[in-house]
Amino acid sequence: MDHSPFAILPDELLEAIVFYLPPVATVAFGATCKRSNQITYEPLVWRRHCIQEWRHWDARHELKDKLRLPPVQTKWRLLFNERRRIDTEALELFDALLLEQQDRLYRMERVAKLGYDIKDVMLRQRDETRDEAEDVLARRYHANAILGQIHRATALEKWQRLRQRQMVRLEEVLGAYDLFVLGGGKGDLSDIDRELDRIAECIRARDPDFDELSIRKKAVQIAKYLRSENLVGNVSEANYHALRNNFISIALFEDPHTSLPLQSVAIYCAVARRLGVNAKPSNYPDHVHAVIEAPANASLDGASRGPSYPPTDQRPLQENEANTMHMDPWRSSSEIPRQHLTTRLSQMGAPVAQHAHHLGATSNLEIALRTGRNIMNSVQEARDAQRHAAAHGTPRSTAYPDVESAWYAMLWSMLVLGDATQPSTLHRRRQVLPYLVEHYQAHFPEDLNLIETVVPPMFEGEREYRVLEHLIRTSRAADAARRTPAHRPNKEHLRAWMIPGVGGVAARIGTHFKHKRYGYAGVVVGWDVKCSAEPRWIEQYHVDDLPRGREQPFYNVVADDLSIRYVAEENISAVHERPDEALMRVAGRYFKRWDEGEGCFVSNMRDEYPDD
């Protein structure tokens, strides 16, 4: 470099040039001479590389704090190297888990334990893998499954902290539900946080004198802005219980921005807190309002109370009433008169002695449980709609949010939240546990580590503890075991699909089919040369009444409603057309890709079914 034109440039200009180089070029430039090496060690250069290369950071890095500090106080180049190392480790584990079923869950768990540091690299695997890739479906599916595991672990951590009465913000408590259904777009807790910050700044920007307003006027201005931007409320009463209305991120980022009153009030309260207004959800039955309290040293209208003015819980009831107000941003930007609310309570039959309780603020824990109950009702309505559609031949919907993921979120919240010392909590957990385990096994087997670490301590000393121990031990052993190859008994009939009287197993792994009797679609993910179900199942489903009985091959299949079923060969009718999106989404759990030429999936289970 000493004899190049760059030698005559001042350090400041060289630093400006280096600032625009990509990481590899930065390192190469630094290797040319001592002077360039010193320039490329400039902290600002590597801070830029860190920020541009990765959008998501694990909380342990405390990135927000580092960005506030002078660049020289952080070893940005070392941090960049650490992130690169983590990406490399994650990709090596990820590539390995795609090759065979043995230790697949264990490897997925190891990747997920790297936390948010691997979210960017998993998003690239999920969203940027080319359609022509040999293992496109497997790569996308397992990357998405690992992302889901990371999100759900974060959600459970928030709820566990809430249960332990630690500080968790309202938007985090509700956003934890969103982490279970998070699709391809925005919706992570950090996304929600940034959007709420942005909304608060927009409110300030619209009114330069906002900070000088009284609390009462601020409360009204916040509601006016949210409603003017259609960020709260629901214009369609007919879709009141729609599943999407239960999730705060969908209300913030998806058009139309519809929500239930609870989510609208949560958005209002989160924005209000950022603007210096103490707003919390109410404990009102059937409809949530925002309760706004005056600060300790002033009234709602700004009159000073002095530093010695007692806190809210020490003031006379009448004075507290005068220093609280109610807003219903879901319906209106105007203050709701207290008399209107008390009259409605009386009409509902609420005793006068309970009015103060219903009109006061409730806890984040109660709001979390209330959200879970709302999701349960919405999922039941969504499933009824799906059954009605199926009965009338309407294609299965793939709308966001996913019904099974929402149901899973509700089950986890009902299990985790609540006071463990209360008998009612243990009773609820016992009711929820079988449904949670069933849903985990059917849809989220990658969550074995969450089941193992979170659930057993809740049942210490109870009979369920031993059942969970057995479940975890057998699941670990199954994951660690090398698959026993199942060879076809008659290879010459490998392609002889559905020809009556032929020997062997007619359909192969990856066969897309229609059920001859019930008409649903599905895909073959396993087979037995004859029915291997237990006698009770054989009797219950009248297997011996079938024309070919129990001695014919039976297939493990994934149906188009994503259920796992066991089907007799005589009811399998191969279909060579591409499956619908519901089956394609789950196909990567078992297959590499869809082969248009062959009209079937390419197996990713060759260690278990080597001839398929």
**189 belongs to a structural domain:** yes
**138 belongs to a structural domain:** no
pLDDT range class, residue 424, cuts 50, 70, 90: confident
pTM: 0.89
- Judge if 352 and 210 occupy the same domain: yes
Q: How far apart are CA 43 and CA 487, in angstroms?
A: 59
* Beta-bridge partners for 141: none
Residue 396's contacts (CB-CB under 8 Å, 6 or more residues apart) are 386, 389, 390, 560, 561, 580, 582
Give yes or no for a contact between 312 and 300, defined as CB atoms under 8 angstroms apart.
Answer: no
CATH number at residue 75: 1.20.1280
Q: Which of 408, 425, 344, 402 is nearest to 372 (CA)?
A: 408
Q: Which of 457, 364, 311 is nearest to 166 (CA)?
A: 364
Burial label, 200 (beta-carbon count in 10 A; 0-12, 13-18, 19+): buried
- Judge if 55 and 189 occupy the same domain: no
Residue range 512-538: mean pLDDT, rounded:
95
Residue range 524-528: mean pLDDT, rounded:
96
List strand residue ranges (DSSP E) for 16-92, in order: none
Summarize pLDDT for 116-145 with one digit per residue, the tens: 999 999 999 999 999 999 999 999 999 999
Residue range 323-329: mean pLDDT, rounded:
95
Summarize pLDDT for 226-243 with one digit per residue, the tens: 999 999 999 777 789 999
Can you read off the two tokens belonging to residue 312?
A: 């809210």
Summarize pLDDT for 356-386 with one digit per residue, the tens: 999 999 999 999 999 999 999 999 999 988 8
Most confident of 159-168, 305-314, 487-496: 159-168
Can you read off the two tokens belonging to residue 15?
A: 């630093």
Residue 471's contacts (CB-CB under 8 Å, 6 or more residues apart) are 437, 451
Q: Which long-range contacts (CB under 8 A, 24 or more apart) does 209-218 make?
A: 210/275, 211/276, 214/300, 214/301, 214/302, 215/277, 215/278, 215/292, 215/294, 215/295, 215/298, 215/300, 215/301, 215/302, 216/292, 216/300, 216/301, 216/325, 216/335, 218/272, 218/275, 218/276, 218/277
Write the single-letter amino acid at 511.
T
**582 belongs to a structural domain:** yes
Least confident of 36-45, 328-337, 555-564: 36-45
Tell me the residue range of the domain where 558 lies: 491-603
Measured CA angle at 116 (ends 443, 478), to 5 deg? 35
CATH number at residue 329: 3.10.620
Q: What percent of the chain has pLDDT over 90?
A: 75
In this prediction, residue 307 carries a pLDDT of 53
**41 belongs to a structural domain:** yes
Q: What is the CA radius of gyration of the chain?
A: 29
Can you read off the two tokens belonging to residue 408?
A: 């899973």
CATH number at residue 597: 2.30.30.390
**497 belongs to a structural domain:** yes
In this prediction, residue 502 carries a pLDDT of 45
- Judge if 208 and 345 occupy the same domain: yes
In this prediction, residue 501 carries a pLDDT of 43
Q: How far apart are CA 299 and CA 483, in angstroms?
A: 71
Residue 310 has pLDDT above 70, yes or no: no
Residue range 1-16: mean pLDDT, rounded:
64
Domain boundary among 51, 80, 109: 80
For the chain, give the mean pLDDT: 89
In this prediction, residue 500 carries a pLDDT of 44
In this prediction, residue 2 carries a pLDDT of 56
Q: What percent of the chain has pLDDT over 70?
A: 88
Number of domains in the chain: 3
In this prediction, residue 320 carries a pLDDT of 55
Domain boundary among 31, 58, 80: 80
pLDDT range class, residue 325, cuts 50, 70, 90: very high
Residue 508 has pLDDT above 50, yes or no: yes
